[in-house]
Chains A and B, each alone.
Chain A
Amino acid sequence: MTVNLTSPSLFARIRQSDLWYSFTRQRSAVFAAILLAVLIISAFTAPLYAPQNPFDPAQLELWNAEIPPIWLEGGQWPYLLGTDTQGRDILSAILYGSRISILIGIASVVFALLIGIGTGLAAGYYGGFVENALMRVGDILLSIPTILIAILVSAIVRELLPPALRDVGAAGVLVLAIVLSGWVQYARTVRAQTAVERGKEYVQAAQLLKVPARRIMFSHILPNTLTPILVAATLNFGMAILTEATLSFLGIGMPPSQPSLGTLIRLGNQFLFSGMWWIVLFPVLQLCLLVVSVNLLGDWLRDALNPKLR
């Protein structure tokens, strides 16, 4: 048997992994990944080619208002998907709105992960009081429906902010609301996994070698808890986008001056009966595409990383 002494490049390692194999075999996962990539890239490169910056009131012209999509009678170039009642180009608004939705989704998942992993590791590793406190807090947060926590946090923090900061801080408030309603799930997953790992020999060996507790937790135990976390994070990214959209739709999220997809749907919803269906339908479709692609990926990841299903 020849031993390959040069370690393979990262790219080659990915190509040879089980995960990549399962990915290429699953059509829906490949489809979802491509769709998600297209959505994210198009949202973040929007300023390069979008016909208008929908956040800039100076670019909105009222005589361009209420134009239907280009394939209908009265449609006008460059407003491919039509305009709303203020002359905002729907396509540009959707692209810029997706950018906000995606950023809020990423930020919420990252912060929830940081808090969840930190508390979960500490609770699982030290046990005792920290663990009990975490489980109690978890019990309480889980006995209130998450959407209710998010709404209450969002509404209350907004109320406590000075009025001048409410629009500027809206994205931050949303992230806080979503993080507070979602971090417990990570903390519980990490805690359970850590409690299992703590008893294993490699952890005992590290403890005997007097490796600092923080190092044992973060560089020895953490990598072994990441698989379920990765799945949860992917599915929660979709949930975070949905929660953001829901809060914005209810009018306690992003303000109309910086509309996310949820805000666009709320604004469009007012014109549902006026025949201008395009104002609401296209943001709805974009939101669905975004969340469906994330969830398809998360679903595949869950099956692919589940050893029982191999």
Chain B
Amino acid sequence: MIVFLIKRLANAAFVMLVVALMAFMIFRFVGDPVQLMVNEQTTQAERDELRERLGLNQSMPMQYLHFVTNAVQGDFGISYRNQQEVMSLIAERFPATIELVLMATIISLVVGVPLGVITAIHRGKWYSEGLQFLSIIGVSLPSFVIGIMLILVFSVMFNILPAFGRGDVVSIGWWTTGLLTPSGRAALILPSIALSFYQITLVMRLVRAEMLEVLRSDFIKFARARGVPAWRVHYSHALRNCLMPVVTMTAMNIGSLIAFALITETVFQWPGMGLLFIQAVTFVDIPVMAAYLCIVSFIFVALNTLVDITYALIDPRLRNAKA
């Protein structure tokens, strides 16, 4: 188990180092950092001093080492665009994205699991075939399209929900939350539905596939034979046995939801990390781009590693598998 743990963690660390290398290369080679930070009035002496201060005269491996040590301490330098520390910019936006992603995850489970169960139990009925068909459409709709349609219906036509922003927020320490104010809650509805749409179809399809498998097993037949009511067989006995993969997929997908949130955030002008990143991309604000890449990949890799380790804890057979 220890060997497995070390192998898995080393693998994760290696991946993160390569991601950091990519971020470093973007930072170093896309445009000259000095050129991007100065204006026309800066003298050559000042430029040289800045170059020295940024450590750009050192050898490349030294610079990379420097970049990694700084990044581990949460220091990603200064944003080119508004001269603020990148980390504080991101920290400011972090709660908005996390709230959106968690809300979308909750919605996807609350809606996706029952739909999956229904389509599995009533296989072949017109409504489950219809739901199955709708799920293909759900996979095919890009999240910005869903966002635009939701705005069109609920904000433009009926004018009942806000289409952009986060509403009023309350700060609790460094965390800001929109969940405690009416306008904050209202503002969260449309973006989280838009973001959860794709996830709902994934959950639904997974639950359906697992349920079909479980419903064929002996203990279900036995439960039926004993006269356990159908709803109990389905929702208590069968469903419980398909939740494991659902939990895994949900945990693993939080990372990609954070990445996909940047599209939703753009549509709804949601002040999260993704919107910050897209603005950084349009202004070629490299430090912000590099930091975002590192942070999102870190969350992604950390969740995957965590899921793998939990699995190995539960199922010893997996420990000998290739890490």
Contact = CB atoms under 8 A, between A and B. Distances in A.
Interface in A241-297: 242, 245-246, 249-252, 265, 269, 272-273, 277, 280-281, 284, 287-288, 291-292, 294-296
A145 B143 CA distance: 15
B156 A145 contact: no
A159 B281 CA distance: 10
Interface stretch (B71-79, B146-154, B213-221): B146-154
Interface stretch (A36-44, A92-100, A150-158, A205-213): A150-158
A139 B15 CA distance: 8
B149 A147 contact: no
B145 A284 contact: yes
B140 interface: yes
Interface of B: 11, 15, 18-19, 26, 30-31, 133, 136-137, 139-142, 144-145, 148-149, 151-152, 155-156, 163, 255-256, 258-260, 262-263, 266-267, 278, 281-282, 284, 289, 293, 296-297, 300-301, 304
B293 A147 contact: no
A28 interface: yes
Interface of A: 28, 139-140, 143-145, 147-148, 151-152, 155-156, 159-160, 238, 242, 245-246, 249-252, 265, 269, 272-273, 277, 280-281, 284, 287-288, 291-292, 294-296, 299
A160 to B, nearest CB: 7
Given A272-B151, A277-B152, A145 B259 contact: yes
A288 B142 CA distance: 8
Nearest to B11: A139
Contacts of A147: 256, 259-260, 262-263
A186 B140 CA distance: 20
A128 to B, nearest CB: 15
A273 B156 CA distance: 6
B255 to A, nearest CB: 7
Given A152-B26, A272-B156, A299-B136, A143 B142 contact: no
A246 B139 CA distance: 14
Contacts of A144: 19, 293, 296-297, 300
A144 B142 CA distance: 19
Nearest to B133: A28
B262 to A, nearest CB: 8
Contact of A265 (B31, B144, B284, B296): B144
B297 A151 contact: no
17 contacts: A143-B301, A144-B19, A147-B263, A148-B296, A148-B297, A155-B284, A159-B31, A160-B30, A249-B144, A265-B144, A269-B267, A273-B156, A280-B152, A284-B145, A288-B137, A291-B140, A291-B142
Given A148-B259, A250-B263, A156 B152 contact: no
Nearest to B17: A140
A265 B143 CA distance: 13
Given A144-B297, A246-B263, A252-B281, 17 more contacts: A140-B19, A155-B289, A242-B142, A250-B281, A251-B278, A252-B282, A265-B144, A269-B267, A272-B156, A273-B163, A277-B152, A284-B149, A288-B137, A291-B140, A292-B136, A292-B137, A295-B139
Question: When A and B form their complex, which 6 residue pairs have the shortest distance between CB atoms, in order from nearest?
Answer: A145-B259, A291-B140, A292-B140, A155-B281, A145-B256, A295-B140
A-side interface mostly = helix
Nearest to A235: B139
B18 A269 contact: no
A185 B19 CA distance: 19
Contacts of B152: 272, 277, 280-281
B15 A238 contact: no
A145 B260 contact: yes
Q: Chain A CB within 10 Å — which of B11, B141, B155, B255 has the most?
A: B141
Nearest to A139: B15
Contacts of A159: 30-31, 284
A245 B147 CA distance: 14
B160 to A, nearest CB: 15
B300 A145 contact: yes
A250 B300 contact: no
Contacts of A287: 142, 145
B140 A143 contact: no
A148 B258 CA distance: 10
A196 B105 CA distance: 38
A143 B149 contact: no
B135 to A, nearest CB: 10
Contacts of B145: 265, 284, 287-288
B272 to A, nearest CB: 14
A184 to B, nearest CB: 14
Contacts of B148: 265, 269, 272, 280, 284
Contacts of B163: 272-273
